[in-house]
Amino acid sequence: MRVAHACFRQTSASLPASPFMGTLAAMVLFSGLLAGLFAGMGNAQAVPSAQAEREIEQLIQALGSSSCQFERNGSWHDAQAAQAHLRKKLAYLRKRELADTAEQFIERAASESSLSGQAYRVRCGGAQPVPSAVWLKARLVQLRKPATTPSP
């Protein structure tokens, strides 16, 4: 039985020496260092611009100060509850650097439930409910319109 086990043992002394072993080891080490460097660069995303931060905040405030209701997973909530919910989702996205623009915020946090996949809706007064993405994008367009100054 000892003989059978001995056949499967292999030590570094039994490996053939090669002039390329040192080069190969250096290449493996170098490629590992490069992989680590590029992996770190992939996580370094741009911080949202001041304009994006302002737009996202204005969208959340617009919903929160409206008299609209917000449907989430089949239940209607008042505007303040909707505002609180979207702030929580925004905080989640910010930790992961996934809300660099107002459009990303709308798409990734304010359009649908991340649990059920069901679209959020907004209902204002007696109007028919609309998808929250439509409501928020319309507000974003209004926010981005240049302010008109009255002519003298």
The tens digit of pLDDT for each residue in 81-105 reads 999 999 999 999 999 999 999 999 9
For the segment 5-32, what is each residue's pLDDT rounded down to a tens digit? 444 344 444 445 555 445 544 444 444 4
Question: Per-residue pLDDT for 79 more than 90?
Answer: yes
pTM greater than 0.85 (yes/no)? no
Q: Which position has the higher pLDDT, 32 or 124?
A: 124
In a domain, 4, yes or no: no
In a domain, 97, yes or no: yes
Residue 125 has a pLDDT of: 94
- Domain total of the chain: 1
Q: How many CB atoms neighbour CB 9 within 10 A?
A: 7
Q: How far apart are CA 46 and CA 99, in angstroms?
A: 10
In a domain, 99, yes or no: yes
Give a three-class secondary structure readout of 120-149: CEEECCCCCCEEHHHHHHHHHHHHHCCCCC
Q: How far apart are CA 69 and CA 114, in angstroms?
A: 19
DSSP assigned state of 13: G
Q: Exposed, middle or buried, 37 (CB in 10 Å: 0-12/13-18/19+)? A: exposed
- Angle at the Cα of 102 (from 99 to 107), degrees rounded to 5? 70
Domain that holds residue 89: 50-144
